[in-house]
């Protein structure tokens, strides 16, 4: 006759083994395919060209533009002071419920002299802190004042 407690012990051991395999498998997948910090970042001075890259000067470029391209360049130069780079920070949680800092970036533009900036909602969705950088490199902490849902 088969001992029922012996069978229950075997089943429990099998369940624990399967749970461990699933747990380690999930950990491996998260470590392998999850987000990773940048391994290498390189900063260069303005005007410094990488070796082997021959860039044209501004006067050479403006001579080779079509009329439509020249108009686009002029509009960009007029509008660029109103463009704002938006940096966001938030906290998300990984598989093991550990907090993971997340940074995001997007763009928007100034819409009035009070400093209101218009951007898409996905740029600031879930953000805990928002920082705006203008074209003159000045930085300002910001907050969301108004949201409009299109749904």
pLDDT tens by residue, 59-108: 555 568 888 998 998 898 888 888 999 999 999 888 888 899 999 999 99
Predicted confidence (pLDDT) per residue in 27-69, tens digit:
888 888 877 666 665 656 666 666 655 555 555 555 688 889 9
Distance CA(75)–CA(107), nearest Å, equals: 18
Using CA atoms of 111, 117, 122, 128 in order, give the dihedral in degrees to the nearest 10. -170
Q: Where are the alpha helices (DSSP H) in the chain?
A: 4-33, 58-63, 67-79, 121-124
CA-closest candidate to residue 104, choices 69, 71, 134, 129:
129
């Amino acid at each position: 006759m088969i001992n029922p407690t012996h069978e229950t012990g075997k089943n429990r051991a099998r369940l624990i083994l399967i749970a461990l395999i699933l747990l380690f498998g999930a950990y491996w997948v998260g470590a392998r395919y999850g987000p990773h910090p940048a391994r290498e970042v390189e900063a260069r001075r303005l005007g410094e060209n990488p070796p082997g890259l021959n860039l044209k000067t501004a006067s050479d470029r403006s001579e080779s533009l079509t009329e439509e391209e020249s108009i686009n360049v002029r509009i960009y130069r007029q509008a660029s002071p109103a463009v704002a780079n938006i940096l966001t920070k938030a906290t998300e949680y990984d598989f093991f419920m550990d907090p993971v800092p997340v940074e995001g970036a997007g763009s928007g533009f100034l819409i009035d002299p009070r400093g209101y900036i218009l951007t898409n909602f996905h740029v600031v969705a879930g953000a805990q802190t928002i920082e705006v950088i203008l074209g003159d490199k000045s930085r300002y902490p910001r907050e969301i004042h108004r949201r409009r849902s299109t749904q």
